[in-house]
Amino acid sequence: MVVEKLFKDEATEEKGERARMASFVGAMAIADLVKTTLGPKGMDKILQSTGRGHSVTVTNDGATILKSLHIDNPAAKVLIDISKVQDDEVGDGTTSVVVLAGELLREAEKLVGSKIHPMTIISGYRMAADCARRALLDRVKDNKDDAEKFRSDLMRIAMTTLSSKILSQDKEHFAKLAVDAVMRLKGSTNLESIQIIKKAGGSLKDSFLDEGFILDKKIGLGQPKRIENANILVANTAMDTDKVKIYGARVRVDSMAKVAQIEGAEKEKMREKVQKIIGHGINCFVNRQLIYNFPEELFADAGILAIEHADFNGIERLALVTGGEIASTFDNPESVKLGHCKLIEEIMIDEDKLIHFSGVEMGQACTIVLRGASFHVLDEAERSLHDALCVLSQTVNDSRVLLGGGWPEMVMAKAVDELARKTPGKKSHAIEAFSRALIAIPTTIADNAGLDSAELVAQLRAEHHKEDSNAGIDVITGSVGDMSELGISEAFKVKQAVLLSATEASEMILRVDEIITCAPRRREDRM
């Protein structure tokens, strides 16, 4: 029986071995791409867009690099997705998760080559991941009850996170900024109330944390420059109706007097709207849209500070931190929720004037002002700081802490190795392979620092066979060091997410035995 062609002309399918090879190769290529950015001595990548302006991004953040790639290989897309989820979920470990998944697949490829069924490999990987997680749980430290120790844990985690980023030179300064900002949140993981403002100029060391909220706007002419006990109305409304707003409308008049009448009527309409706004009993009005000269004049006469064109993020955050709501109609003053703060004043950062709201309703709100030599540096600094803030806010909730520097991987590899020896059958090969994949992370950290990874990892393994060893790779001296003395710590939540996401992603890719690519949709000839 001959089966007619099942798919359309240009659709392609790859089966069995070829499909699996395509998946493995794509996933390993992605892992190799970001591998060099791992660890304190990781290198940066320049990403240049082909769009207008050819914008350039310089970064070593795994998620940012992978987000910018346009890739055809379906397995590679799975790895890009786990990296994105890792970034959204815990903020750090975006490179580790891709490298680990890539290594698991590299090991799986060898096993498949020696005729072990993918399902056997998957069940072995599952047992190994479970064993590795338990090994970490046995060795976590939790200092939540001792405020002093917990703060030093947070400082260590922040410094470890920042040490692989552009901020590594001033990591103590930035770790302190990040810890102070997160401690203000009092256990909330909502980072909306921490605002980051980037101002080019100065050096990264000049960055500082300021309580309250800073809006990147100037105060208009003839308006009060300082207001105490402010009542703030945050709005998104058109304040430029001194022109006819009906597009394509034509008004025919038979004299200039009539034109003046129309203009007068529009001015009256605007005046009424301004009176309604003033009727809310406010002394500060912040608008998302433009405020034309006439209404601005009216506000200035009433002694109200009017700020126009505050960007959308700006007013959403301002409404959040001052406890107000964004209004767009002003007929019912009682239903509008005003924001409050103790003091609004104009401040200067270098040459720029900004508006500072201090003593806001939401006590935990604060602003971190980043300074730096160029916008590329500032963008990368913001990404680095955002990673640190994410990790810290997660750690405040789940306060379990591990040591860093390849220590967790060695602890897991040792436990997984022991499990492999006890497990009968072919699964033991998969479990052993899992342990080799885990060791790839300390190996890569050492390779990226230009050290002899084979020698260092062998020393590490020997150290870990002693009871309760704290040994990890000290990249600075290029030897094996005690991680608790060096103060290198990581959050348990990050490590757990890396382990589980990488295992699940590699399982998913291992199950593939056929790739079907659909035929592209044709445009009909419209001739």
Catalytic (active-site) positions = 61, 94-95, 387
Alpha-carbon span 96 to 449, nearest angstrom: 16
Place of tokens 């405040």: 396
* DSSP character at residue 223: S
Alpha-carbon span 203 to 69, nearest angstrom: 31
Would the CA dihedral through 148, 152, 157, 158 be positive or negative?
positive
Please enumerate in sequence order all residues whose Cβ is within 8 A of that of 343, keeping only pairs 6 or more positions apart, or say none: 226, 227, 228, 230, 356, 357, 358, 359
Alpha-carbon span 401 to 388, nearest angstrom: 15
Residue 48 phi/psi, 5-degree rounding, is: -115, 125
Residue 472 phi/psi, 5-degree rounding, is: -150, 180
Alpha-carbon span 489 to 154, nearest angstrom: 9
Residue 210 phi/psi, 5-degree rounding, is: -130, 135
Please enumerate in sequence order all residues whose Cβ is within 8 A of that of 235, keeping only pairs 6 or more positions apart, or say none: 277, 285, 286, 287, 288, 326, 327, 328, 330
Q: How far is CA 70 from CA 30, 46, 66, 80, in A?
A: 12, 15, 9, 10
DSSP-based helix, strand, coil % in the chain, nearest 5: 50, 20, 30
Structure tokens at 319: 């409404």
DSSP E strands, 128-171: 141-142
Beta bridge partners of 198: 370
Q: Identify the helix (H) or strand (E) that includes residue 367.
A: strand 366-372
Per DSSP bridges, beta strands 366-372 and 208-211 are: antiparallel
Residue 359 phi/psi, 5-degree rounding, is: 65, 45
Question: Which DSSP string do the residues of 424-465 spell out, in sequence order?
Answer: -STHHHHHHHHHHHHHHHHHHHHHHTT--HHHHHHHHHHHHT
Alpha-carbon span 344 to 235, nearest angstrom: 17
